[in-house]
Structure 1
Amino acid sequence: MNGKLTSAPIDFYDYYIRKEISDGEFIMGRVIGKILGKHRFRMGDLLVSMRMEVMIIGGELEIVKDDEIKYRNILKKTKSFCDRK
């Protein structure tokens, strides 16, 4: 953060992920790209992808269309996601 190496809890980036997820259906890879491009975190796409997978397992996001290539999956928010706000 602010150009300095900092430790953070594993769910630190979840706020930024939730902020970039729009209503309706969306493509997982586009949200990942938007987060990395907009916030310029020094992390790879894998971390964002893994946190989104945790949101799927936790019931906040739902897979609408499952693709062989995970980043092409189409997702949407669930009621659980909306209740977090």
Structure 2
Amino acid sequence: MGATHVTRAEIFRVNWTVTPDQEPDAKLNSYAQECDVCGVASPRTHDANDGTLWIIEHARRNPSHTSYTEVVKRPWRAFMS
């Protein structure tokens, strides 16, 4: 017969806090726009207003494409509190 192995673990409750990462080394927020009709997306930039110009140009070339979604990437941090 094989040996019996017993594993012991202590489990305890931990509170976590989640917050936007504003540390000096945090990634910058980035923004893009997506066309809801065809799925094409603008280049991702760090200026939220850049997507507006992309929408205007995309709509000019595709007049029936009138619905867009902004995609925002924002860094977050989690830590035990």
Pair in the same fold by TM > 0.5: no
Higher relative contact order (CA 8 A, sep 6+): 2
Relative to its length, the structure with more helix (as a share) is 1
**Structure exhibiting the larger radius of gyration computed from Cα positions:** 2
